[in-house]
Amino acid sequence: MTTNLHIIDHPLIQHKLTLMRRRETSTRTFRQLVNEIAMLLCYEVTRDLPLTTELINTPMEEMDAPILAGKKLCFVSVLRAGNGLLDGMLNLIPSARVGHVGLYRDHDTLQAVEYYYKVPSDIADRLVIAVDPMLATANSAIAAVQRLKDGGANNIRFLCLLAAPEGVEAFNKAHPDVPLYTAAVDRQLNEAGYILPGLGDAGDRIFGTK
């Protein structure tokens, strides 16, 4: 499998993911867990952000203290399930700019259909972290990343919660320059393009639309 794949196997993430997978988990709890897991995923996906130092005064004395080196961030939510992850990430980095790519998966063709696109005008100067909980065929992720590249983004990471091996392969083939972060790679897709064992339809479970 690809070297661009980063599996985030922190025990807290794995534990929360198991709770989310359970059929009996309520919408309220599922949404809360997405929020919590997003913070943990965000922590890992930003682990290598560069630091500089700044001279500050503590109540005791001066010190050269570490501070983020002004790396400008933009989170991009792939609507609508991406919004579940986005909220948790913004809890951790409230100053990040936010873009949205609206896509839905046509149920028959499994192709991504775009219905919305809005990102900061200086996207080319930012580290873009695109988020969507599910990477199944990867058609949505591939289309979202292509749209961001066409819009000028040139430093992109893709963060999901759960991926299928078929999707990981397709994504890496389409965008070998884009690191892919996920908490787990499941067994396979079913004939309808759903991840097995998976967690069902992420958007429906976050928003209670089923």
Among 55, 134, 177, 210, which residue interacts with ligand URA (rule: CB under 6 A)? 134
| 105 included as an active-site residue | yes
| 147 included as an active-site residue | no
Cβ-contact 138, 174 below 8 angstroms: yes
130 binds ligand URA (CB under 6 A): no
Q: CB 209 → ligand URA: shortest distance, Å?
A: 11
Sheet holding 127-131, edge to edge: 5-7, 180-182, 156-159, 127-131, 73-79, 97-105, 112-118
Among 25, 140, 172, 182, which residue interacts with ligand PRP (rule: CB under 6 A)? 140
Amino acid identity of 118? K
As a whole number of angstroms, the distance between CA 90 and CA 133 comes to 15
| 204 included as an active-site residue | yes
Among 114, 166, 169, 201, which residue interacts with ligand URA (rule: CB under 6 A)? 201
Instruction: Point out the residue whose Cβ comes nearest to ligand PRP.
Output: 203
Cis peptide before 197 (omega within 30 of 0): yes
Q: Which residues bind ligand PRP (CB under 6 A)?
A: 78, 80-81, 103-105, 110, 112, 132-141, 167, 193, 201-203
